[in-house]
């Protein structure tokens, strides 16, 4: 079965640079979520989109932005990168949990961002 696809899997950037992560949800999933997992930490919710509209917002820095496109893929844009942004970034997808409360959220393999 198709899973959540994230690219790139690994990314190395210098401080103050910009990075873009991409996420392709499971087919027919209309909701996308972004999480950040620092080294040895639990995943922290950043932001989510349902039908291309922001549906929830967590601890996403102002330097970060995200959007969901008409084909439901999503991109997380990170600017003015800091050393502390080094983390594993997960994208997840699901069918609407508003329309189907029990819908399962599936995670991608993650994108490793290293800021040097």
Partner 1 sequence: AQSVTQLGSHVSVSEGALVLLRCNYSSSVPPYLFWYVQYPNQGLQLLLKYTTGATLVKGINGFEAEFKKSETSFHLTKPSAHMSDAAEYFCAVRGSNTGKLIFGQGTTLQVKP
Contact between residue 93 and residue 25 where contact means Cβ atoms under 8 Å apart: yes
Instruction: Using the minimum distance from each CB to partner 1, give the nearer residue, 17 or 109.
Output: 109
Minimum Å gap between C-beta 45 and partner 1 is: 5
Contact between residue 97 and residue 33 where contact means Cβ atoms under 8 Å apart: no
Candidates 18-26, 31-39, 66-74, 79-87; binding stretch for partner 1 (CB under 8 A): 31-39
Rounded Cα gap, residues 7 and 113, in angstroms: 11
Q: Does 36 bind partner 1 (CB under 8 A)?
A: no
The encoded tokens of residue 114 equal 């290293």
Instruction: Using the minimum distance from each CB to partner 1, give the nearer residue, 46 or 115.
Output: 46
């Amino acid at each position: 079965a198709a899973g959540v696809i994230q690219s790139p899997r690994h990314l190395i950037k210098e401080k103050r640079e910009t990075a873009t992560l991409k996420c392709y949800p499971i087919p027919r999933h209309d909701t996308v979520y972004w999480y950040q997992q620092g080294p040895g930490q639990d995943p922290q919710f950043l932001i989510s989109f349902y039908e291309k509209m922001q549906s929830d917002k967590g601890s996403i820095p102002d330097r970060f932005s995200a959007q969901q496109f008409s084909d439901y893929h999503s991109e997380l844009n990170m600017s003015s990168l800091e050393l502390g942004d080094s983390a594993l970034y997960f994208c997840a997808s699901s069918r609407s949990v508003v329309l189907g409360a029990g819908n399962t959220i599936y995670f991608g393999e993650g994108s490793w961002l290293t800021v040097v």
